[in-house]
Structures are given as structure tokens and as C-alpha cells.
Amino acid sequence: MDRPGFAFELLHVDRHCGARLGRLTTPRGVIDLPAFMPVGTCGTVKGLTFDQVASTGAQIILGNTYHLALRPGAELIAELGGLHRFIGWDKPILTDSGGFQLFSLAQLTKIDERGAVFRSHIDGALLELTPERAVEIQQQLGADIAMVLDHVVPLPSSQEQIADACQRSLRWAARCRAAHTMSAQVQFAIVQGGLNLELRVGCARELAAMDFFGYAIGGLSVGESPREMYDTLAGTCPALPAEKPRYLMGVGRPEDVLEGIRQGIDMFDCVMPTRNGRNASAFTDEGELKLRNAVHRADPRPLQSNMQTPYSNFSRAYLRHLFMANEMLGPILLSYHNLAYYQNLMRDARQAIAADCFLEFQQRRKAGWGLLQDQ
């Protein structure tokens, strides 16, 4: 099926590493790559309006099939004009399939070949999520980019469990591909295989043969070390089609994002900017600042002197005061700052790739964060 209005362009690859400069065009707007997607799991990026989210530089957000299907329900959202209209966001949206939530709520979930049967974490109701149902929900939501349903297992797991989940993910991907009927939406497949590079490469090649619009690497940041994740990326990225967008799911420490970019990843998402912001932690070029610490009590400096946002002039002392006084403005301002910091990081990374100096840029950032040694 043709997908009018969708296109991916690979504009440039850094001469010294795998970092890619790209452009993903959708009917609702262009996404400059590499890109970071703020997470709006339940139809909201916690604590912020979507005007604020857009003003950080975000060009796409992420929503979640599992949570939106449970509450308020995909049918209701479709009746009200789709997810974009429902939440008031007119730019692209990518929806996760719910596979990670089935993993993270494993005590409530039973998985077999047909799909997953689980109990709602809200009211305990017994529900089923199959590949076909995951596709149906994402089409009802009207997402621009939909993910296939995959089977995620924790790390470490036995090689038998990892191989079984990988093969099931391939079969589910084929079923998602067959069930997809919406011309105004594209699908991304998800590569699984744990830390087993043979499984990862085999999975990537089988999915590439199915000719999805884009490809994600899933099942990482689920218990493995950063070094193990980096080695898995190094072995998996070369097996992904160069002419298709690449997405590393749920990975979001700034240093992990930059390493993913170095390996050739185009898209990222993580709850970390807003979750950490709600907990008084700010990302900066000098590392993560814990604003409840007394060292910030009388500090007149802004969080990041070279970053201009509508709220960038507030002092560290004032922001600390808001948290110590349990004022709701504190989490709002730090969530905004962290999202803006990530978007600035992506912008600077794109400029570095265009100038063939991404490795130098990565080293400068790591030095500022105190991460000169590989992790």
C-alpha cells in the first residue's frame, strides 16, 4: 500500500563514524533527525501543555497503545476525531504498541502465540492484546507512526527465552504487517534478540525482508549494562537497512543517546527528562544537578547559561526553593528545562554531523558530564 506524504531522506553520514543526518517527512510535518521524542504516555507530557512541548523544539511526540486503550479507550478517541485532535497536538505522533508495558507489568500478563492476556493495572479487568488488536488500536488513535507488537523479555534471561521471544516477535510483526490497512500511517518493525548478536542480526534481516517503513531496536535498557547495550547496537545497526529510519526504543540518558547517534540511530524516546525533572534533577552541560542539595540554596546562576528558553533566567536558588516548598511550579519548570536541553542536544548533534565532527562533539559533552571513560 502506498503511504502518500511519508518519506525518509538520508542527508549525510559523518565521515568518521556512523552518525546520520536525516529528514523524516510526514503529512503532519517534517522531523529533523536525529530526533528525541518526548513521551506522552497517556495523551499528556506530564506537567506541560503541548504549546510548551512544541516550544522546546520537539517535532514529534510518543503516545502509548496500552495506556490509551485502557483509558479513555481507543474507540472514544476515534469518535472524538483521533489522538491529535483529542490532545491538541497537530504535529506527528508515534505510538508504542504496548509490548513494553506487557513486559513491565509481567506479573499481570500471560503471553502465548495468539497474543497477551493481562489484567488491567487500573481495575483488574481481564483483557487481551494481539498483534491485530494492537494495529487496530493504533489506527483508531490515528498515529502517524505505529509500532508492531513485540515480545520483550528482561535481561538477563535464558538464551531459550530470548530466542523464543525473538521468533515470536518476528511472527507477530508479520501479522501486524498483514493487518495494517491505514494509508495515512506507517509501521515500524522492532528488532529483538537480547544481547545475542546472532539473533539480533537474523531478526533484523528477516524484518528487512518484510519491507517496513522503519526499524526499531527494542528490548534494551531492561537490565543490561551500558557497555552491553553499546556492543549490541554496534552489532545490530549495520544489519538494518541504511535507507530506512532507525529508532532505539526507551533509551534516554544523554550519554546513551549520543552513543546511539554515533552508531547510526535516528530516533529516541525516554521518560527520563520529565521524570527526573519532577524529582528535582536537571540535565546540564556540567552534568545532572540535584536541586534539593544544599549547595544550590543561594546559587544565583541559571541552570544552563547558554540556553535561552522562556524560563531560562530562573536561578538555581529559586528552583531549589520551589521544590523545598513543594510548589508545583518546580516540577513544571524542570520538566520544561530538561526537554529543552534534550532538544538542544539533538540540534547540536545534527550540526556536528553536518560538519563531520560528531566524535569531537560527543567527547566534549562527555567531558562536561564527567564521563571521559567508556561505560
pLDDT in tens, the chain (375 residues): 678 999 999 999 999 999 999 999 999 999 999 999 999 999 999 999 999 999 999 999 999 999 999 999 999 999 999 999 999 999 999 999 988 887 777 677 889 999 988 888 888 888 899 999 999 999 999 999 999 999 999 899 999 999 999 999 999 999 999 999 999 999 999 999 999 999 999 999 999 999 999 999 999 999 899 999 999 999 999 999 999 999 999 998 999 999 999 999 999 999 999 999 999 999 999 999 999 999 999 999 999 999 999 999 999 999 999 999 999 999 999 999 999 999 999 999 999 999 999 999 999 999 999 997 544
User: Is 323 a domain residue?
Assistant: yes
CATH number at 246 reads 3.20.20.105
Same domain, 93 and 215: yes
Please give the helix or strand (H or E) that residue 85 lies within, else none: helix 83-87
Number of compact structural domains in the chain:
2
Same domain, 251 and 291: no
Same domain, 182 and 79: yes
First to last CA, the chain: 43
- What lies within 8 Å, CB to CB, of 90 at 6+ separation is 28, 29, 84
What is the value of pTM for the model shown? 0.96
Task: Determine the Cα–Cα distance for residues 304 and 126; give it in Å rounded to an integer.
Answer: 48
User: Is 14 a domain residue?
Assistant: no
Same domain, 117 and 245: yes
How do 246-248 and 267-269 pair as beta strands?
A: parallel
Same domain, 150 and 131: yes
Task: Determine the Cα–Cα distance for residues 138 and 146; give it in Å rounded to an integer.
Answer: 6
User: Is 310 a domain residue?
Assistant: yes
User: Is 12 a domain residue?
Assistant: no
User: Is 9 a domain residue?
Assistant: no
Same domain, 245 and 317: no
User: Is 11 a domain residue?
Assistant: no
* Catalytic residue selected from 14, 96, 150, 266: 96
Same domain, 36 and 150: yes
Same domain, 118 and 215: yes
* Catalytic residue selected from 14, 144, 266, 269: 269
The grid cell for 273 is 527528562
Same domain, 60 and 204: yes
**Range of the structural domain that residue 58 is part of:** 31-270
Q: Tell me which of 249, 270, 291 is where a domain ends.
A: 270
User: Is 129 a domain residue?
Assistant: yes
How do 287-290 and 281-284 pair as beta strands?
A: antiparallel
Task: Determine the Cα–Cα distance for residues 153 and 130; give it in Å rounded to an integer.
Answer: 17
Same domain, 207 and 354: no
Same domain, 250 and 316: no
96 is catalytic: yes
User: Is 250 a domain residue?
Assistant: yes
Same domain, 260 and 302: no
